[in-house]
Structure 1
Amino acid sequence: MATIQEVAKKAGVSVATVSRVLNDHTTVAEKTKIKVEQAIKELNYEPSVLGRNLRTSESKLLLVLIPSISNPFYSEIINGIEETALTKGYNILLCETDSNPARETIYFNLVRSKLADGIISMDPTINKVKLNELAANYPIIQCSEYDQDGAIAYVAINNELAAYHAVKHLIKLGHKKIALVNSDERFLYARERRQGYEKALKEFNIPVQKQFIYNTKDVGFEDGQQAMKKLLDQDNRPTAVFAVSDILAIGVMKQIHTSGLQVPNDIALIGFDKISFSNMTHPTLTTISQPMFKMGAMAATMMIDKLQGKSIESVVLEHELIIREST
């Protein structure tokens, strides 16, 4: 493989001049630039990306932190991040934390050692204190889940308002016994979606019944099934369910059908996220749509703007209630 020194010798210029051509400096005369480019072509020279990055103190690599790669909610956001990053000359590294503090530390250290330029975090389980400490010196953006009391810029939706719209739709259909299948309320989105659920009930003078609220440990299909099983075991069962994720909702739907009941004739159902599977259920799932690709694209743009020294602010995007066959 040819070296930069060989290119310089063949073109009859200095190594510094070759470097300036490679970095698109405008100080190089057009005639000289043509000679260098010709030498590069003839020698099939490929500059070292690592060497260039070391000189500029940039890796052109963004870390994207998610708790689990198996959750389809993250896929469209990741697509938005990657497409935007690539168009701006950056690559991404997908980092599955598995809610493991040791993994978090490894990824944080990649930024500290300048092997990555910054972090886009989508992990609701991440250590917020350590993330804010890192953000004091390194570029961090939060996407979807964020720290309400922190100083890190984020892109998200209004979860409370979205949940309110979902439950209000069920109330308008005539439902008064509406259950909430929520996730762990350690997470901000879970607390906000419960607040939206309760706000809608109170607005229509429907009492909040604790037996209709079920918190799951995780957001898996089986967790939705287990939640619905508990709700159906009650003498006073709900006529509608609002689940805070589509995966939970699909588990809820499975359990309703297993119990010999029908959606929506016996129990109406609304999910959250509008993952691709939500349109493949029977019946199709009414859900809250998050602009996931746009969220990812916006997070990547905010990160690159921050790396370039630009001022950035948090962004709250619009959601949409997608009405399908389950209500």
Structure 2
Amino acid sequence: MATPSIKEVAQRAGVSVGTVSNVLNRPWIVAPTTRQRVQDSIRALGFVRNEAARHLRAGHSRTVGLVVLDVANPFFTDLAEGAESLAQDHDTVVMLCNSKTDPVREGRHLDQLEQQRVRGVLITPCDSTDPRLSELAAKGTPVVLVDRAADGGHCSVSVDDRLGGRLAGEHLIGSGHRRIAFIGGPLTMQQVADRLTGFTATVEQAEGVALRTVEVDVMGVKQGRAVGERIAKLGKKSRPTAVFCANDLLALGFLQAMAVAGLRVPEEMAIVGYDDIDFAAAAAVPLSSVHQPAELLGRTAMELLQEEVDAADQHRHRQVIFQPDLIVRASSDVTR
């Protein structure tokens, strides 16, 4: 069945095509009775306007692209929710794209979003120095980095991950641990590198603390469980007594491995994660975690993007940095 046209709507309502267009785009200038007649015709015919064609004429769409590293991580789900909550206020739709930390896949998403003439792009990039991001902005599509600091070429919203690493280190060392492991990766990701840098700086300031670093390619539950299984097999005198995982999914997988191996948490193994996703507090042993405000990150990123869209040539890039907090729970608190 052919899609009804705007001309057919006009004929059925007994008005001009221009009047139908006004009802669709500027309904307040059309008399209420005429507007109702047009709307009745639209419903009767099942007319759906061609948004793509309208966007091509306008030069941009009402869609904002959100490109994240791992849609399976609840942190990014919360971030998307924050972005979408503000997007609704601006009659904008968020299109979620999952790069899976793959630069090639990320590049394809950016190409497709540009072809769609999106209003802008919010992105947690695999590499914040990727020239593709600057090229996109130079061609008129605003880009805001999310959960990643920018050097001034873009707006950005991030968390002080070095501070987050220091908070985790101070907590574990202050709890008496002297054999500690860091699990995260890939270390080329700026967030992971910054968390390790802050953590390492704290360890180096303490006497007699040995740090083991375990790099993973993907930060998921499966990878955390695999690392946990390997560490659990180490001898008691060489095994770390505490681990800091670069995200909560790794930490939850590691926690599962400790349960299977029969190691008590936190008495024999203290665990601290990062992100403070909802599952952290709901774990069998509630997980200590460095909290970062995911929804606020998404909402603030959308605010910066909207500022850039509205201000155009008058816009000045801003870098917003939030401070993390350590939420101590049973997985690392031996006093509970």
TM-score, normalised on structure 2? 0.83
Show the counterpart of 2:262. Answer: 260
1:206 aligns with 2:210: no
Distance 1:279 1:162 in 2: 18
Distance 2:239 2:39 in 1: 74
Distance 2:101 2:71 in 1: 12
Show the counterpart of 1:218. Answer: 218
Deviations 1:259-304 (A, max 9, x none): 3210011121111111121122221101111111111111122222
Q: Aligned to 1:324, which of 306, 323, 329?
A: 329
Q: Aligned to 2:280, which of 267, 274, 278?
A: 278
Report the Cα offset of residue 71 of structure 1: 2.3
Q: Aligned to 1:39, which of 37, 40, 48?
A: 37
Show the counterpart of 2:184. Answer: 182
Between the aligned residues of both structures, percent identity stands at: 24
Show the counterpart of 1:3. Answer: 6
User: C-alpha root-mean-square deviation of aligned residues, in Å?
Assistant: 2.8
Show the counterpart of 1:61. Answer: 63
Contact 2:180 2:209 in 1 (8 A): no
Contact 2:59 2:117 in 1 (8 A): no
Distance 2:11 2:121 in 1: 38
The one-letter code of the counterpart of 2:133 is: L
Q: Is the alpha carbon distance of 1:103 and 1:181 closer, same or farther for their aligned partners in structure 2, counting shifts above 3 Å? A: closer
Report the Cα offset of residue 157 of structure 1: 0.5
Distance 1:134 1:207 in 2: 49
Q: Please identify, of 258-267 and 91-100, the stretch whose mean Cα deviation from structure 2 is larger.
A: 91-100
Distance 1:67 1:202 in 2: 31
Q: Please identify, of 294-303 and 223-232, the stretch whose mean Cα deviation from structure 2 is larger.
A: 223-232
Distance 1:303 1:196 in 2: 30
Show the counterpart of 1:313. Answer: 318
Aligned to 1:295, the other structure's residue is in SS state helix
Aligned to 1:132, the other structure's residue is in SS state helix
Q: Is the alpha carbon distance of 1:6 and 1:66 closer, same or farther for their aligned partners in structure 2, counting shifts above 3 Å? A: closer
Report the Cα offset of residue 189 of structure 1: 0.8
Structure 2 unaligned blocks of 5 or more: none
Counterpart mapping for 1:83-162 below 5 A: 83-124=85-126, 128-137=130-139, 138-146=141-149, 148-149=150-151, 151-162=153-164
The one-letter code of the counterpart of 1:206 is: E
Report the Cα offset of residue 35 of structure 1: 5.2
Q: Is the alpha carbon distance of 1:52 and 1:118 closer, same or farther for their aligned partners in structure 2, counting shifts above 3 Å? A: same
Deviations 1:225-258 (A, max 9, x none): 3333444425422221111111111122222233
Contact 2:152 2:319 in 1 (8 A): no
Distance 2:18 2:299 in 1: 37
Q: Is the alpha carbon distance of 1:112 and 1:247 closer, same or farther for their aligned partners in structure 2, counting shifts above 3 Å? A: closer
TM-score, normalised on structure 1? 0.85
Deviations 1:1-32 (A, max 9, x none): 462586499676x6556545643398x5xxx5
Report the Cα offset of residue 100 of structure 1: 4.0
Distance 2:208 2:145 in 1: 35
Structure 1 unaligned blocks of 5 or more: none
Show the counterpart of 2:301. Answer: 299
Q: Please identify, of 16-25 and 135-144, the stretch whose mean Cα deviation from structure 2 is larger.
A: 16-25
1:82 aligns with 2:80: no
Aligned residues: 319
Q: Is the alpha carbon distance of 1:134 and 1:288 closer, same or farther for their aligned partners in structure 2, counting shifts above 3 Å? A: same
